[in-house]
With several copies, the nearest count.
Chain A
Amino acid sequence: MKLFEIVTDEIQPEKYREAVVHPGAGAVTVFTGHVREWTKGVRTLYLEYDAYVSMAEKKMAEISEEVQHKWPETKIAIAHRIGKLKISDIAVVIAVSSPHRKHAYEANEYAIERIKEIVPIWKKEIWENGQEWKGDQRKKPLLEVE
């Protein structure tokens, strides 16, 4: 299996946990991001994710390199699902193993932050009365066309 992948089918978190387990790993953290029904009082019907697949997988592998530079004994696997996702479906999974637990938590949280910053994946929220591509407008090094 690929350790960094964009998938279209349901994510099976165990697959990624198993991919990072090894005899030296005493701790594994598996983060899953799920589709939430309510966001700031607005009810989501479902989500649609799109990605620049080849670049997204490359960027996820780069995040792994960053993680291994910061926490050398960790091992990490990441998958993001695209297409139509319903409430409670898993959009993203991050599995991190480490000899000791502290790094497994830290590296995992770092990875999700970086995914939200640099991996070309987009979320469209579909509500009862509309839909919108989400994107953090506050984020920095974007170009603004005038």
Chain B
Amino acid sequence: MITLYYFAGLRDKAGVDVEQVQLTGLKVRELLEYVSNKYEGFKGSLIHIAVNEEYALLDDIVKDGDVVAFIPPVSGG
């Protein structure tokens, strides 16, 4: 089980801010493909992925219990 968070514009597109899914052992790249197929508007978006509050690489593996956040370009300040 992993937890997925969506923020800002991606939350609007997903229609949810958090969900839990039964997917582990996937690469970040595969998880991104999964949510991009699931939710309209993710394709073509610029997205960062954070795993357990750290920016992740596309080839990182997501383990059971991980918290994954989908992060559009930040605009704080």
Residues in chain A within 8 A of chain B (CB atoms): 33, 49-52, 54-56, 58, 80, 91-92, 112, 115-124, 133-137, 139, 141-146
The total number of A-B Cβ pairs within 8 Å is 103
User: Which residue on chain B has the smallest CB distance to residue A94?
Assistant: B77
Instruction: Report 27 cross-chain contacts, Cβ distance below 8 Å, ordered by A residue.
Output: A50-B7, A52-B50, A52-B69, A112-B77, A115-B76, A115-B77, A118-B55, A120-B74, A120-B76, A121-B77, A122-B75, A123-B76, A124-B8, A133-B12, A133-B75, A134-B75, A135-B9, A135-B72, A137-B73, A141-B55, A143-B48, A143-B58, A144-B44, A145-B32, A145-B36, A145-B44, A145-B45
Structural contact, B44 and A122, CB atoms closer than 8 A? no
Report the minimum CB–CB distance from A98 to chain B (whole Å).
Answer: 14
Query: At the interface, is chain B mostly helix, strand, loop or mixed?
Result: mixed
Ranked nearest first, the 3 interchain pairs of A and B with the lowest CB-CB distance are: A121-B76, A135-B73, A122-B8
User: In the complex, how many residues of chain B place their beta carbon closer than 8 angstroms to a beta carbon of chain A?
Assistant: 29
Q: B46 contacts which chain A residues (CB < 8 A)? A: 135, 137, 139, 142-144
Given contacts A116-B77, A121-B76, A139-B73, 14 further A-B contacts (CB under 8 A): A54-B53, A112-B77, A116-B74, A118-B55, A119-B74, A120-B48, A120-B71, A135-B46, A135-B74, A136-B73, A136-B74, A141-B55, A142-B73, A144-B47
Residues in chain B within 8 A of chain A (CB atoms): 5, 7-9, 11-12, 32-33, 36, 42-50, 53, 55, 58, 69, 71-77
